Structure 1
Amino acid sequence: MLLYKLWRSFIKEILLLKRDIGGIVIIFVMPLLLIITITLIQDSTFRNMEGSKIPIIFIDNDRSEISESIKKQLENSKTFELLTDFNEKSAETAVFGGDYQMAIVIPKNLTKDINSNIDSKVQSIVSSFGLETDSSAIKQNTSKAKDIRLYFDPATNISFKNNVMNAVNKMVFEIENKKIYKAFQDQLGTTEDLKNSSLIAFKEITPKKGNTDVLPNSVQHNVPAWALFAIFFIVVPLSINLVKEKSQGTSVRARISPTPYFIHILGKTCTYLIICVIQFLLMVAVGIYVFPYMDLPQFDVSGKMLPLIIVTIFAGLAAIGFGVLLGTVADTQEQSAPFGATSVVVLAAIGGIWVPVFLMPEFMQTIAKFSPMNWGLNAYYDIILRNSGIGGIAKEIIFLFLFYIAMVAISLFYERKQNAV
């Protein structure tokens, strides 16, 4: 009997949704437009080796060994496109005006001064060991460090600045090391080739699928993240639906009918849960079949579809629970719609949809642990990027289900208290 009542409640929700075809289209189409737009914008960030190059201004006032070495390394990085038709004044104007991200200015006589500095220091060191050197060649080093001037657009991200400065420092350090080795070799008169090859190197160990490295890309990050955002955005139509029922008297008829009120809530849960799953499947379909035609990586879900749908179901339950609570507490659509939309955006920001949690301040990282979007996102990433199974996402699934239970329980308690005679 209860199953029949649940079925009738489900049919009622379907009929209500059919009255707003435009709203249903928006629920499904807008997330697809969002995921395509965001993925296209962010794809170059993930294409480290084949993305579009960043144009930067390179001014070589040295035109010698060291400046040529720096220029060659910048060109070989496959990250920058060097523009050389500028002087320092025009470069400063262009960069500070926002036309280019940055400019690198190599000072005059950089190679000559560095060579002189290194030779002087090496001769002093060698003579301190009592070895014969050309004493006339030993000079007191009074030259100051040479400045490679970097101009950055004031709107440039601070992390980009730090990365470029670290890269330039590394290049200069390696060049100086080579010259110091060469100077010692010349002073000692040795014929042995003293190569300053690195004794320590970094080797990244990546997950493998067969013999192929599995590298993260924009699609793997964006499909689950924005699918989760779309799932939680059903909070808005669901809460509006509940507010309409209160204003039209439907909720009163539901309470006085022989059907328990929780069956009414379960009917909504089943209906909107189906919508959540359809939303996710549409986004996965776009990732698999549409993205390759847009020169984007294909979304790989081989062997992962079942756990992904399980996460979607529990994430949908969490979103539905929040929507039920909001629709129960709100008295008007003017309350539920703006608050629902704003709260979903806030939960997305806290949960790591827009900014990775590890980049947040410490207290925000703590808050993120209590966001249902963060639980869902971690579960998706565990499956897609970390190759976890159901056991690896059990904690997140339990949290999402408990969140649903808590939201619905509070809603039922509030509804009963408000309508107590």
Structure 2
Amino acid sequence: MKLLASINKELLLLTRDRAGLILLFIMPAFLVIIITLIQDQVTTTSAKILFVDRDGGFVAKEIKKTLLNSSNFKLIETLEGKPVTPGQAEKLVAGGQFHFSIVLPEHLSRDIEKKSDFLARKKLFPATGQKPQVEKPAITVWFDPTVQGSFRAALNSSLQAIIKGQEIQLTVKKFFALLPEKIQASLPPGMKSLAPNPLSTADFSIPELFTDSTFTHIEQRFATKMGFSVQPTPVQQNVPAWTIFGIFFIVLPLAGSIISERNSGTLKRLRIMPVSYFTVMAGKLTAFTLISLSQFAVILLASWYILPLFGVERFDAGTEPLAFAVVLLAVICAANGYGIFLGTFCRTYEQVSMFAPVSIVIAAAIGGVLVPVYALPDFIRPLSILSPLYWGQAGFYDLLLRQGDLFSILPEAGALSGFGILLCIIALARNRG
């Protein structure tokens, strides 16, 4: 009976906290739905690629056809009704509006055809084959430095496979077109009716025919606003993203502190004293800002001294310390504002402990921390701008990967600061009411 009474007591306490019960059931279900949708569709989401065709030949058509038939890529050839130019493609990728751009050079098809003809003649007529006077054409692929290596490798391998297939197909076609000529050259005078096997007299083998059939190379470049490129690394991409994620968990102790003071009556006693609520909250903000800065310092030291112990390169904080500090403080401002907001509107710590972590994980999921924004499903991608973690990550990426400066990160820093200040104002208005 005592056990039943204890169980009944706990259930009564839970049912009295209706908001907590709603969060207990709704938030996990919402998290499962969001994460499942993202993970299920991330491999089938089509990445938008700026496609610049300066060739217009059969190779360009085959590349375009193959990429269009793939569900992973969506080609953008015109903007505002005009064809995309190479300079425009580089600029748009450098600005972050697009993450990929493919530029096919002029005369790509013609050069591949000439080299295919040369290779076929070289194998059938080694004494007469002359190397064509054409440079090895290069397909330029511009990448946003924020694009992860796996996505770069996927696009690169797709292009390589298409080009290799075209080169082999064209070489075989040229080879068999020259076979009658080889047969005639192989027959002695007066014995045209006796046709020896041309394959036995041709100095080649089928595998040998394709050993040097790579006529085109793919040149990967990283577009940046400053006009020079940097090789992005997983360290530069992951440390800022997960640092922001960690900083936002300051929400839990901050909101819990507010709820504890309110439920214990401490907040009422403070307000009776000649101290404004604004002063009380300003003290909390300052204290938790210092805690967040300490948290960042620990992460930074770990990325400098612990990661190299495992064979990973050190994290590079860039050459713009002032801009870096501005983004960091803006992220902390947004996290603290969110913590004060939740501490004001949630009645119990249980509500905060359920709502805050789940909401942060959801914000990280749609904001590009768990999965890159360009890989998100099409219907979720526009929602990424609603996530403060997206703005924080974008600000750090502008600095560390795109070589931006203080002015380039002002939009992101402004959005983060505005988010935090707005939530603080709403919380203050609620307490005054």
Q: State the TM-score, normalized to the length of structure 2.
A: 0.54
Does the aligned pair in 1 maintain the 2:240–2:393 contact within 8 Å? yes
**Deviation of residue 347 (structure 1)?**
0.8
2:431 matches 1:415: yes
Counterpart amino acid of 2:256? I
Shift of 1:199: 7.1
Q: CA contact under 8 A between 1:347 and 1:371: conserved in structure 2?
A: yes
Pick aligned residue for 2:176 from 183, 187, 196: 183
Q: Mark the CA change 1:381 to 1:368 in structure 2 (over 3 Å): closer, same or farther.
A: same
What's the CA shift for 1:270? 0.8
Q: What is the 5 A alignment of 1:11-22? A: none
Q: 1:299 to 1:165 in 2, by over 3 A?
A: closer
2:338 pairs with 1:345:
no
1:308 aligns with 2:324: yes
Alignment of 1:218-297 (within 5 A): 218-297=234-313
1:392 and 1:330 map into 2 onto residues whose CA distance is: 37
C-alpha distance in structure 2 between counterparts of 1:394 and 1:168, whole Å: 42
Evaluate the alpha carbon distance shift between residue 372 and residue 338 of structure 1 in structure 2; reply closer, same or farther with a 3 A threshold. same
Q: Percent identity?
A: 32
* Contact in 2 for aligned 1:239/1:337 (Cα 8 Å): no
Deviates more, 1:405-414 or 1:303-312: 303-312
Inter-partner Cα distance in structure 2 for 1:302 and 1:164: 31
Q: Measure the CA separation in 1 of the matches of 2:415 and 2:244.
A: 15
| Structure 1 position 379 matched with structure 2 position 372 | no
Distance between the aligned counterparts of 1:169 and 1:302, measured in 2?
38
Q: Do the aligned residues in 1 keep the contact of 2:366 with 2:380 (CA within 8 Å)?
A: yes
3-state SS of paired residue (2:286) = helix
> Aligned to 1:361, which of 350, 373, 377?
377
Is the contact made by 1:276 and 1:312 (CA closer than 8 Å) also made in structure 2? no
Aligned counterpart, 2:139: none
- Note if contact 2:250-2:336 (Cα within 8 Å) is conserved in structure 1: yes
Q: 8 Å contact 2:320–2:406 — kept in the other structure? A: no
- 1:250-288 Cα offsets, whole Å, 9 max, x none, are 111122221110111111111111122222222222222
Aligned to 1:103: none
Q: Shift of the alpha carbon at 1:395? A: 0.7
Question: CA separation in 2, counterparts of 1:232 and 1:238?
Answer: 11
Distance 1:171 1:225, change over 3 A: same
- Aligned counterpart, 1:137: none
Contact 1:350–1:364 (CA under 8 A) maintained in structure 2? yes
SS at match of 1:215: coil
Contact kept? 1:220, 1:385, Cα under 8 Å? yes
Question: Per the alignment, do residues 166 and 386 of structure 1 end up closer, same or farther by CA in structure 2, a change over 3 Å counting?
Answer: closer
Letter in 2 for 1:263: T
Cα distance, 1:159–1:356 mapped onto 2, change above 3 Å = same
